[in-house]
Every structure is written in C-alpha cells, then in structure tokens.
Amino acid sequence: MTVHQIDPLQDPRWAELLQAHPQASIFHTPGWLESLRRTYGYEPLVLTTSPPGSALTNGVVFCRIKSWLTGERLVSVPFADHCQPLFERVEDFYSVLEWTSQGLRKNSRKYAEIRPLDGNALGLSEHSAFRAGKTFRLHLLDLKPSLDDLLRAFDKNSVQRRLRRVAKENLVYEEGNSTALLKKFYHLQVLTRRRHRVPPQPDEWFGNLLASLGEKVKIRVVSKDATPVASILTLAFNGTVIYKYGCSDATYNNLAGTPFLFWQAIQEAKQGGYHSFDMGRSDIDNPGLITFKSHWGTADQPLTYWRFPGAARSPKGEPSQAKEAGKYIVSHLPDSLLIFLGRTLYKHAG
C-alpha cells in the first residue's frame, strides 16, 4: 500500500480530518504543531494512505527533530502526553508503520516514537516492528456526572476540605490568555521548575501556544494580596479539556490555590459541555503525583510509548552522584541562567 507524506500546516485536509475524528486531540492540531515549529524548529509531517486529491481519511502526525546532541528522530509528537494515530482501518496504520520503519533505516535516523492511548489494542507487538518503551499512568475524569456528584467523588480530606478552606482565604482569581497572565504564570513556572531541580521550558514556547491556539488555551491564576500563588494552563479541543502545566509558589501552598484552580477548570469544562477532563500523565515512579490525581476521582490507565527500533529498558537504580550533583547545581542557578539553560536544552529533548 502506498504511503504519502503531507504538510499538516499547509494541507487543509488535516484540519478537516481533526474536526471529524472522535480521537483527535489538541496535540494533533496545526496550532500545537506550529508552536513546536516556531519555538524549536521541529518540522511537522503527516503520513497517510490517502492519495493526493482525495479526502484525507487517516494519518499519523510526526515531528522531525534534528539535534546534534540527541540525534535525528521522528516523534508523534513532542511534549504531548499522548497522540493517537487516526485510522479507520488498522491495516492502513500498519502500512504507515512499516513505511516509517523502512525509511528510518534508509535515512539513518535514531528512532521513531508514537504515543497512542492504547498500543496493545492496536496490536503493535504482533503487527509492527515497534516495541514498548516508557510507561506512564494517564488520569482521566469523566464529566458526565453532575457537578455535585463530581465534588462528592473527590477525596474528602485532601480535596473537599481544602476547597472549603480556600473560600476563606480571599484569593483573587483571573483567567484568560493575556500577556499579563502569561507573565504571572511564567514567574511561577520558574519557581516550580527550580523546586523540581530542572530548567523551565522557554517563555517563547508558552507565548507561541497562546498565539497559535488562541481561545483553545487558557491560563488560570490565583493571587494573595497581589502576589501570584498558583497557576495552571489548560488546553481544550474536541470535547476534552487537558491540564497541561501547573506551577505554584510553595510559600503559599497552604492556601490551596492549586486545588481551587483545578475545581474552577473542572466546573468550566462541565458547564461548557466538555465530556472529559484529562489530568495528564504521571511517571510510574512518582506515587505522590499519582495519588494526588486519583484524589480527584479520575480513572487512570497505563500509557506506553512505542519505538522503532525498540530500546532496551534498563531497570531503575539509585540516582547517580553526577545526576544528583547536576540537579543541585540547576536548583541554585540564578533565574537568568536557569531560563537560558531551558532555552538551550529543550529543543534537543522533544
């Protein structure tokens, strides 16, 4: 079967397919892909069995990453928690994967990676050369129940009690996609990434998301006495609101600003007619984050990334002294250097 390559930023058939396909997400959209191109120089492409001039009925979207540091590769898609291949016939999907595998060998690329919601259901092990790689947990909240039922399903101590408390704190709530809100969000993002001992993504990335996605992206911020204390960034498309980024000033975590923002986002999603609130992925070795998200009544499922050629998965061991030393240094850099480090490194990490 012949496989064709198209440019999803130029071919209008891609956006038309996304509007019609029930499994299309914000991570498939030209806005997300354009943000990646503008910020990191990644080249988006779609592989499909639909011939030129015909209606587009399927496709896998990739970004071509060219890096002298981490190698050239195809990723579907960078910085997305998941990106479902969009196919009616699984045989067409296998044809695209076979074409991708053959092309990878010819072009000496390092690997190709796809991030389906359920690779086992697609029969990847049986019908392709792709092999399971990193595994996470994905947390999804069904918004079909009433708001009262959703609230009752939240953990009584860590969520319900904190939501009752936040009403007494006189926090100021703002939402939108303005430059002023982005500035507050990014200030908190730098604080949080420092706390996690990793650099932040460049502010250009978030600015490009706002410019390319428009009303599909929203920043929510709560402040105490004019000081921003917590913020989240959500994405909305095709019936689903996705929590993508969250940050806070740990000095004010006792004010429950983050739970308040989650509840605001969930209520707005429910009232806006969305059917699902995607709380994103968690590393399987981060039980604290998994527990936090489960306290919101989410159902979690395994989320596995698949690669060709498959990479051996080494067992997790104790963190190396060099890695820990690197994290220590990162956590103590001045803001300007921390931001510069993120701007320099993230384009190699997609």
Ranges 108-112, 131-135, 340-344: which has the least confidence: 108-112
48-80 burial by CB neighbour count: b if 16+ within 10 A, else e? bbbeeeeebbbbbbbbbbebeeeeebbbbbbbb
Report the pLDDT value the prediction gives residue 313, as an integer from 0 to 100.
Answer: 52
User: Looking at the structure, do residues 130 and 151 belong to the same domain, yes or no?
Assistant: no
For the entire predicted model, the pTM comes to: 0.95
Q: Does 286 map to a domain?
A: no
Q: What is the pLDDT of residue 14?
A: 98
The total domain count for the chain is 2
Same domain, 131 and 8: yes
Instruction: Note whether 131 and 149 are same-domain residues.
Output: no
Same domain, 224 and 261: yes
| 273-298 mean pLDDT | 97
Q: What's the pLDDT tens digit per position in 23-59?
A: 999 999 999 999 999 999 999 999 999 999 999 999 9
Which pLDDT does position 318 carry in this prediction? 55
Please give the structure tokens belonging to residue 181: 């809100």
Helical H segments across the chain, by residue range: 12-20, 30-40, 90-107, 124-127, 147-153, 161-166, 179-195, 203-213, 257-271, 287-294, 321-331, 335-345
Does the residue 49 lie in any domain? yes
- Of 23, 20, 116, residue with least CA distance to 77: 116
Whether 89 maps to a domain, the answer reads yes
CA distance 209 to 145: 31
Please report, for the chain, how many H helices and E strands are present, in that order.
12, 12
Q: Which residues pair with 226 in a beta bridge?
A: none
Residues 130-139 pLDDT 10s: 999 999 999 9
Q: What is the pLDDT of residues 308-317, one digit of tens each?
A: 998 645 445 4
Average pLDDT of 82-91? 96
- If asked whether residues 164 and 250 sit together in one domain, one would say yes
Has residue 143 got a pLDDT over 70?
yes
- Same structural domain, 53 and 154: no
Work out the pLDDT band at 325, boundaries 50, 70, 90: confident
Domain assignment present for residue 300? The answer is: no
- Between residues 154 and 327, the one the model is more confident about: 154
Within a domain: residue 108? yes
Give a yes or no: residue 342 inside a domain.
no
Q: Confirm whether 284 is domain-assigned.
A: no
Residues 118 and 155 in one domain: no
Is there a single domain that holds both residue 55 and residue 178? no
Q: Does a structural domain hold residue 350? A: no
Regarding whether 123 and 34 lie in a shared domain, the answer is: yes
For 203-252, how does the pLDDT look when each residue is reduced to its tens digit (9 = 90+)? 999 999 999 999 999 999 999 999 999 999 999 999 999 999 999 999 99
Average pLDDT over residues 80-87: 97
pLDDT on residue 323: 79
97 and 159 share a domain? no
CATH number of the domain residue 225 falls in = 3.40.630.30
> For residues 240 and 255, what is the distance between their CA atoms, to the nearest angstrom?
28
Range of the domain at 49: 4-135+306-310
pLDDT at 168 over 90: no
Averaged pLDDT score across all residues of the chain: 94
3-state secondary structure 20-47: HCCCCCHHHCHHHHHHHHHHHCCEEEEE
Q: Examine the pLDDT at 327 and tell me if it is beyond 90.
A: no
